[in-house]
Copies of this chain bind each other. A is one copy, B any other.
């Protein structure tokens, strides 16, 4: 039961908070879209449609949370994303809330 709840919640959180999950992942190391898709799917056991992923990455770059650099592998190009200072601050803000929510059965 708890396991089904878990899956459902992970699915919801990777959907609704996709941007944050992406930032968190890229924070560990610079990464490109396709790699991210594979990692997320392996790690969280959820499908991540590339039709949702790529627009989100571009959006995050527009907002200044990520920067990108094209890397050539022969003829094929990868768009490698790196997190910015602003992006890190966003992730920090998120982590702060998580901490409160964990401690915070102290909601009175």
Contact = CB atoms under 8 A, between A and B. Distances in A.
A24 B97 CA distance: 14
Contacts of A16: 12, 16-17
A27 interface: yes
A105 B6 contact: no
Contact of A89 (B5, B101, B102): B5
Given A12-B17, A17-B16, A6 B107 contact: no
Contacts of A9: 20, 90, 93-94, 97
Interface of A: 1-2, 5-6, 9-10, 12-13, 16-17, 20, 24-25, 27-28, 39, 43, 86, 89-90, 92-99, 101-102, 104-105, 107-108
